[in-house]
Structure 1
Amino acid sequence: MLEQTFIDITVEDAIKKGLDIMNVSESQVKIEVLNAGRKGIFGIGKQNAEVKLIVIDPEVKREKTIIPIIEQSSDKNIDETPKVTTPEKNIEIKSNRKQQSLELVKEYVLQVIDAMGYEASMELIYKNKDEVIMNISSAEASRIIGRRGQVLNSLQVLAQNYFNHLEKGFTIITLDIENYREKRRETLQNLALNMSKKAIATGEPVKFEPMPNYERKIMHQILAKIDNIETYSEGREPHRYLVIRSR
């Protein structure tokens, strides 16, 4: 029985490396995960994944690497019909992989919060196939939110970037705690309305403090419904800010 151990950043990468080196397909091997690996926190405690690939039928590997199929005896009946995976199975596989990645992101964020010295738990809420809310519960909610949501926003950036590293495609991750996002939206709405009145009354541009991109989008959406004013953003991230001025 042919077997070999491979190490890489993730389990998927280690398996792919093994299949490429051993020149076999996944259906021809038995896979044992020796170490699932871990990302660590900001690189601390990081471990690479380790897997063992065991060729189920050594003759299959030998035939593939030494004797090309086209040169096999013509007496053998070869089924050349391509195998097609049903769309339902593809969707299920992709969904399972995405869910696993979200669980990894959840674990990662909780590790960061734990490193900050706070206890917390988290629930994943699937708004739709392209948007997930990670709802945090903690007795230290105010500290995890931070001044004007700065800590929570930073955690959200970490979560989104880590997920984008694990998965391709478009998925929005929102971190929330004690319904902070909805309360913040109401605050932004009141602020936008008050500042628009000031811009109209004075005729002078009104500049806001720097805020995250998605909060600026909320402001733009609210102010777009008000006549006689226009909005635009200035500066560079993370110091980009919104400006209101009368037309």
Structure 2
Amino acid sequence: MLEKNYIASTVEAAIQQGLAELNLEEKQVKIEVINPGKKGFFGIGKSDAEVKLIIIDPTLKKLSSIEAIKNRTHSKDEVINTPIAEMAVDDTFTTKSVHKSTNDSSDANNEQITKQQSKENALHQTEQYIINIIQAMGLNIQATSTVKNSGEVVINLSSSDAARIIGKRGQVLNSLQLLAQNYYNHIEKGYMTVTLDIENYREKRKETLQNLALNMSKKAIATRKPVKFEPMPNYERKIMHQILTNIENIETYSEGREPHRYLVIKAR
């Protein structure tokens, strides 16, 4: 089984440590709490938390080990430059080797093209699925979609009813994005991050969350009391975790269960 244990001062810190090392999101793993840890009394009796991250993403489960998962974004096909004179024992061997290499390269290219076409087809169907939902809400909508080099699927929406599609603090847009995520992965039979955006809302929201996190970290330090945020999706909590990583004298963790999980900032 593809799994690994992580130890940190809190359960959330251990989870974030594991997700960062493996470059994963929470929905790609099953989390088992081995030891919730103890805060202790003035440091006495304190113990670290330990969690186990188990890979559940169908695509990643095809890899052979945790190391393969960690290195999956860094691995490249090795090219060995060997002089032809060293490769060839005779002309017949050389000809067959070159012919086989050409066929392998052609097969690999065809496979890559087929995979890309499959992704684009799934993306087109997902785009139309979301359009149909929004139109059923009585709203006008247009959409354009792209597959980034990172593998992320982005569906950009355009509408005169953008505010209604976004909803309060992005709740409607987030719900539509979840539907798009599930629909796409059902068609493509593999994990792929789907982002739904309209009028550059995601970038604006990211900036808002970062500023809010920085301001609330100052409040947590000044008051010496934990600052709790309203529930928000995992990727929004991750934005706040990341911006606060290098700030001294505070720690961040999440509490509650999805979809009511929220971020907490606490002074050390």
Asked if Structure 1 and Structure 2 have the same fold, meaning a TM-score greater than 0.5 normalized by the shorter chain, the answer is: yes
* Number of equivalences: 165
What's the CA shift string for 1:20-59, capped at 9, x where partnerless?
Answer: xxxxxxxxxxxxxxxxxxxxxxxxxxxxxxxxxxxxxxxx
Is the Cα contact below 8 Å between 1:132 and 1:172 reproduced in 2? yes
Structure whose CA Rg is larger = 1
Q: Which amino acid aligns with 2:230?
A: E
CA RMSD of aligned residues (A): 1.4
**Is 1:118 the equivalent of 2:146?**
no
TM-score, normalization by structure 2: 0.60
The match for 1:209 is 230
Of 67, 90, 98, the residue aligned with 2:119 is: 98
Q: Which amino acid aligns with 2:134?
A: I
Of 165, 179, 189, the residue aligned with 1:158 is: 179
Instruction: Give the 5 Å matches for 1:23-62.
Output: none
Once residues 244 and 188 of structure 1 are traced to their aligned partners in structure 2, the CA distance between those partners, rounded to angstroms, is: 13
Deviation at 1:164, TM superposition (A): 1.0
The match for 1:108 is 129
Once residues 184 and 229 of structure 2 are traced to their aligned partners in structure 1, the CA distance between those partners, rounded to angstroms, is: 31
Segments of structure 2 that go 5 or more residues without pairing to the other structure are 1-102
Structure 1 residue runs of 4+, over 2 Å off?
none
Of 189, 193, 200, the residue aligned with 1:179 is: 200
Once residues 109 and 253 of structure 2 are traced to their aligned partners in structure 1, the CA distance between those partners, rounded to angstroms, is: 45
**Is 1:149 the equivalent of 2:170?**
yes
SS in structure 1 at match of 2:148 = strand
Once residues 234 and 133 of structure 1 are traced to their aligned partners in structure 2, the CA distance between those partners, rounded to angstroms, is: 29
Is the Cα contact below 8 Å between 1:125 and 1:134 reproduced in 2? yes
The match for 2:218 is 197
**Is 1:136 the equivalent of 2:157?**
yes
SS in structure 1 at match of 2:147 = strand
Is the Cα contact below 8 Å between 1:136 and 1:176 reproduced in 2? yes
Deviation at 1:181, TM superposition (A): 0.5
Q: Which amino acid aligns with 2:162?
A: A
The percentage of aligned residue pairs carrying the same residue is 64
Is the Cα contact below 8 Å between 1:207 and 1:244 reproduced in 2? yes
Q: Which amino acid aligns with 2:263?
A: L
Deviation at 1:129, TM superposition (A): 4.5
Is the Cα contact below 8 Å between 1:195 and 1:206 reproduced in 2? yes
Segments of structure 1 that go 5 or more residues without pairing to the other structure are 1-82
Q: Which amino acid aligns with 1:149?
A: G
The match for 1:218 is 239
TM-score, normalization by structure 1: 0.65
**Is 1:241 the equivalent of 2:262?**
yes
Once residues 130 and 119 of structure 1 are traced to their aligned partners in structure 2, the CA distance between those partners, rounded to angstroms, is: 29
Q: Which amino acid aligns with 2:153?
A: V
